[in-house]
Structure 1
């Protein structure tokens, strides 16, 4: 049929038929499709309003998770992964069993015993071993000395304070929990965790703000005990102590001007929470008011106070001794 553009070899003259012509975007299934109306700014991926909306949605979800009791283990509570730099620190963390995710070794690093041990330990623990350019490690460390080794440590998964009560109940022994008030040195926290594990404690509670967290330094100081002793984070330490008191635990705070001395502490064999303040400021006012009793450590020398971790070790050792004596 003359003028039929669908027939092979046919010629179509301009103006002979209505409708789309070749070059206008195609016909039927081959025709171009419009993108439709412009979406709102909150739905455009790269628009600032979309980023703000996404951030608000994520914050609301985090608040919802923290308010529920189903998932009590909170991985880091918003903290970011940590990088341990240097050969000795990396080897010490691996020896302590810190749950690292990756060991990064700079290409061309001079191999010595520490590097070989780090690689061997990481391989035995199933940790990824990555070779990276030295310049990348320099950028990652921000100019700090890394000696060709970096260990990626994920945020610590804190327990809920109520979990410590459950652990104590399942153990069959009187509850023994240590709460730290204002202790900001992660080495002190790690040492306290180690003492709690050594003397039969059921866990450690730390405030969520203005306090040391379970960093890689704390892990290393605990010598791996943090893998067995849970550390809980309390949004409000005073309220948590009040909840422990309502559950039947006695709250005993360490203070230089305590009501009783440690050798007179008769509550050692009962379910108890030992509250330890910072070496400089001691217990906070509200926390001290929450305590049922304050205990002092008798000093034989001119020293006025002990480091928080040392004080914890002394008190926990005495409590453990009294509990063993009661069982005889």
Structure 2
């Protein structure tokens, strides 16, 4: 967080020991460990350092994703669990995705729980909060992306769908409900991740990791 040049930080609190490990341009307010404990939610692990920061501003589809440059984009339709969203951000960074696009109303805010699950990844990849995901998918197509909806019942396997030189936008749906019809219909292709028949589906964050890896490998 502190290394992200676009993150606006309001206040940094640290123990003397933790303050000694901070960059010279950071001037923390020094407190004891017990005092920091009292300022945080019960059970929060601070390791001697706490930061109050302003939320990261979301980008537009065009500023985050255009012009297409070969990297993938991850689109999450109504994924509400901050642990899953955070894990998806980690995979996006791990496999070199350009941006993560979220549904505006039904996606969790970039709070501490999500940030912790993302292990710093929300600082490393831009995000978009789209009011209309179907329209966002259409924008991605106009920018030159192959848009692929991930659905377990699709006939086309993911590796076959990715047999295309264009950068890909991978569109995944919410836990249990899957993609909404309008969002799926906006995509150029529908594909599945082949898994063993004894397992019905993958967790959305696991599916995102597999899909992002396959997209990077195929390019």
User: Smaller-chain TM-score range?
Assistant: 0.7 to 0.9
Deviation at 1:322, TM superposition (A): 1.2
Provide the rounded CA distance (Å) in 1 between the counterparts of 2:81 and 2:130. 17
Provide the rounded CA distance (Å) in 2 between the counterparts of 1:120 and 1:199. 33
**1:182 matched residue in structure 2:** 78
Aligned residues: 216
Is the partner of 1:288 in helix, strand or coil?
A: helix
**1:316 matched residue in structure 2:** 212
Is the partner of 2:154 in helix, strand or coil?
A: coil
Deviation at 1:243, TM superposition (A): 1.9
Asked which structure has the greater RCO (Cα within 8 Å, sep 6+), the reply is: 2
Is the partner of 2:172 in helix, strand or coil?
A: strand
Contact 2:162–2:215 (Cα < 8 Å) also in 1:
no
Aligned CA distance change for structure 1 residues 146 and 257 (closer, same or farther; 3 Å): closer
Provide the rounded CA distance (Å) in 2 between the counterparts of 1:224 and 1:317. 19
Tell me, yes or no, if structure 1 residue 103 matches structure 2 residue 3. no
Deviations 1:127-170 (A, max 9, x none): 522549x79975x65x745589653132122211111233x54x
Equivalences for residues 73-88 of structure 1 within 5 A: none
Equivalences for residues 115-130 of structure 1 within 5 A: 118-122=18-22, 126=26, 128-130=28-30
Is the partner of 1:294 in helix, strand or coil?
A: strand
Contact 1:249–1:273 (Cα < 8 Å) also in 2:
yes
Aligned CA distance change for structure 1 residues 266 and 210 (closer, same or farther; 3 Å): closer
**2:60 matched residue in structure 1:** 160
Looking at CA atoms only, which structure, 1 or 2, has the larger radius of gyration?
Answer: 1
**2:111 matched residue in structure 1:** 215
Contact 2:19–2:28 (Cα < 8 Å) also in 1:
no
Contact 1:268–1:319 (Cα < 8 Å) also in 2:
no
**1:199 matched residue in structure 2:** 95
Structure number with the higher helix fraction is: 1
**1:252 matched residue in structure 2:** 148
TM-score, normalised relative to structure 1 = 0.56
TM-score, normalised relative to structure 2 = 0.80
Aligned CA distance change for structure 1 residues 136 and 254 (closer, same or farther; 3 Å): closer
1:269 to 165, 178, 188: 165
Q: Which runs of 5+ in 2 are unaligned?
A: none
